Every structure is written in structure tokens, then in C-alpha cells.
């Protein structure tokens, strides 16, 4: 969570990012990652699926 927060904070502080809410910043980061995937021929949906699996594995079990 610290790395994600640092990345979003850096993104927010760059250019006109300071004008965005945290939710809007997240939307912009995701849109930029989609563009990056398009430009580098990466599969965003496959990466998201793997990220969700990693998130689940890293999350503490629910009570």
C-alpha cells in the first residue's frame, strides 16, 4: 500500500495533477496505463487478472 500511495502522490504532484481528487488521479493513472499497454502491446486485462490474484493471495483471510 505504501508503494501505491507514493506512486499516486507523485502522480498527483506532477503537472496539473494537483487539481485532481484522489479518485480522479486513480482514474487518470489507470487510463495512462491502458495507453501504455496499447503502445507496448501488453494485455492490460491479463495483467489486471494477475494483479487481482496477487492481491487476494496477499490479503489477510477474512474472519
* pLDDT tens sequence across 1-51: 899 888 888 888 776 666 777 788 889 899 999 999 999 999 999 999 999
d(CA 41, CA 35): 10
Q: What is the structure's pLDDT at 18?
A: 64
Q: What is the structure's pLDDT at 12?
A: 80
Q: Burial letters for 27-50: b for 16+ Cβ neighbours within 10 Å, e otherwise? A: ebbeeeeeeebeeeeeeeeeeeee
**Can you say how many angstroms the Cα of residue 52 is from the centroid of all Cα atoms in its chain?**
12
Q: What is the structure's pLDDT at 16?
A: 66
| Tens-digit pLDDT profile for residues 32-46 | 999 999 999 999 999
Amino acid at each position: 500500500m505504501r508503494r501505491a500511495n507514493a506512486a499516486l502522490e507523485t502522480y498527483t504532484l506532477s503537472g496539473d495533477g494537483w487539481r485532481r481528487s484522489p479518485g480522479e488521479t486513480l482514474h487518470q493513472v489507470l487510463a495512462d496505463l491502458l495507453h501504455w499497454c496499447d503502445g507496448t502491446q501488453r494485455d492490460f486485462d491479463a495483467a489486471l487478472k494477475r494483479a487481482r490474484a496477487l492481491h487476494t493471495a496477499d490479503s489477510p483471510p477474512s474472519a
